A and B are shown apart, each in its own frame.
Chain A
Amino acid sequence: MGNMIKVGMADLKVCKCPDALTTLGLGSCVGVALYDPVTKISGLLHCMLPDSTQIRNNSNLAKFADTGIDELIRQMTALGANRSRLVAKIAGGAQMFAMSSMNDSLRVGERNIIAAKEKLKEYNIRLLAEDCGLNYGRTVEFYSETGDYVIKSVGKPVKTI
């Protein structure tokens, strides 16, 4: 196995086989993994907000689902991935706190998932698997060798999608 590359909050990274990508403690944020099964070039995005057009301060592309996926595809194709072959797996978008008054920012997980899926559809990227929503945090690892997306949570068995 290669190196494990860490992706921070509002961050994205791309890698080649046999490296792997990880992001720790996804809450309402969404982890979008893109993969070219032929070249095995992989990318992982940890985005926080659904829509860059709604926010004035939007210089950090990886903060948003829409511009984050654009940038991830750009970097992956620059590395040699073929855009038409890309497939996706997503995880995260939980609602960490059950609040009685549903403030918009607390439903952001759900909106992040919708935004990410819409963006993928726009690019005609097939969504192979997802582990989204509910109320718990996730640590994810994406292995470029196999295309496995491994999801770990507190007090739950490890899941591979």
Chain B
Amino acid sequence: MSKINLDKLEDAQFDVLKEIGNIGAGNATTALATMLSIKVDMSVPNVALLPFDRISEFIGSEEQTVVGILLEIQGDIDGMMMFLFDMKSAHHLVNSLMMRDIHENEDLTGEFSEMDMSALNEIGNIVSGSYLSALSGLTGMKMVSSVPALSIDMLGALLSVPAIEFGKYGDKLLMIQSQFGEDDFVTGYFLLIPELESYDKILSSLGM
């Protein structure tokens, strides 16, 4: 029997998970900003435990097209990790990474080329790597991530993947939102989806 109940999370447990999200997302955005050599200006991450029918609302509408990057985590902690970027942010990231002149490339809604997709995957790699190493440093546990998988589709459809994973344990999903960038903020969403047993490990490694 697990110590944690996602539907009736204690305040202290929620705070710890929130802090983990803060640290992970903070590191991930710093890594990304360094890679893209843009000024880091990060907002305080917004953490929420949401019921399934409201998870899309947190980001946008269910039918909005977004870029999703999914990785599996293995090691002392098992689970999944997901990053979501809206189309405009994803184009902005790819254009910065490819050092394209953004002013000549005003179309921020069009399709991605194969090269762009691979750049997005690389962004996923970097972001997840720094997220996990922060989490690993904090908890003293070992974890590795799989090769990222990328999908561009409706928000609701992409979110069904982590929602199903959470659905096995409860009716809510833990979501961490982080914004960063220069003048024009890039919005990214981080979802850490540990398996239920892994929650216990995370919490007990932090003395809960």
Chain A interface residues toward B at CB < 8 A = 8-11, 24-29, 48-49, 55, 57, 60, 63, 94, 96-101, 103, 105-106, 108, 135-139, 153-154
Evaluate whether A48 and B155 lie within 8 angstroms (CB atoms) in the complex, with A9-B53, A25-B56 already known. no
- Tell me if A27 and B159 are in contact (CB < 8 A): yes
- Tell me if A154 and B152 are in contact (CB < 8 A): yes
- Tell me if A101 and B161 are in contact (CB < 8 A): no
Q: Looking at the complex, which of B128-136, B166-174, B200-208 is the stretch in contact with chain A?
A: B166-174
- Tell me if B53 and A108 are in contact (CB < 8 A): no
- Tell me if B171 and A63 are in contact (CB < 8 A): yes
Asked whether any CB of chain A lies closer than 8 Å to the CB of B116, the reply is no
Contact residues in B for A49 (Cβ distance below 8 Å): 164, 167-168
- Tell me if A103 and B72 are in contact (CB < 8 A): yes
Closest chain A CB from B22 CB (angstroms): 26
C-beta contact mask, B56-86 vs A, less than 8 Å → 1, else 0?
Answer: 1000011101001010100000001000000
* Given A28-B164, A139-B154, A139-B156; 12 other pairs, CB 8 A cutoff: A8-B53, A9-B156, A10-B52, A25-B157, A27-B153, A28-B157, A63-B171, A96-B151, A97-B151, A99-B72, A100-B146, A139-B63
Docked complex: B65-111 residues within 8 A CB-CB of A = 65, 68, 70, 72, 80
8 A-B contacts (beta carbon < 8 Å): A24-B156, A27-B157, A28-B161, A57-B171, A101-B72, A136-B157, A137-B160, A138-B157
Interface size class of B (residues with CB under 8 A): 35 or more
Closest chain A CB from B162 CB (angstroms): 10
Asked whether any CB of chain A lies closer than 8 Å to the CB of B9, the reply is no
A101–B53 CA distance with the chains assembled, in angstroms: 29
Contact residues in A for B152 (Cβ distance below 8 Å): 154
Residue of A nearest to B70 (CB): A97
Partner of B70, one of A8, A10, A99: A99
C-beta contact mask, B38-65 vs A, less than 8 Å → 1, else 0?
Answer: 0000000000000011011000011101
Closest chain A CB from B14 CB (angstroms): 18
Asked whether any CB of chain A lies closer than 8 Å to the CB of B123, the reply is no
Contact residues in A for B55 (Cβ distance below 8 Å): 9
- Tell me if B63 and A24 are in contact (CB < 8 A): yes
Closest chain B CB from A63 CB (angstroms): 6
- Tell me if A24 and B62 are in contact (CB < 8 A): yes
Going nearest first, the 10 A-B pairs with the smallest beta carbon separation are A25-B156, A137-B157, A27-B160, A27-B157, A8-B53, A24-B62, A25-B62, A25-B154, A97-B149, A137-B154
- Tell me if A99 and B157 are in contact (CB < 8 A): no
- Tell me if A135 and B151 are in contact (CB < 8 A): yes
- Tell me if A48 and B63 are in contact (CB < 8 A): no
Partner of B170, one of A26, A29, A57, A139: A57
Partner of A154, one of B150, B153, B168: B153
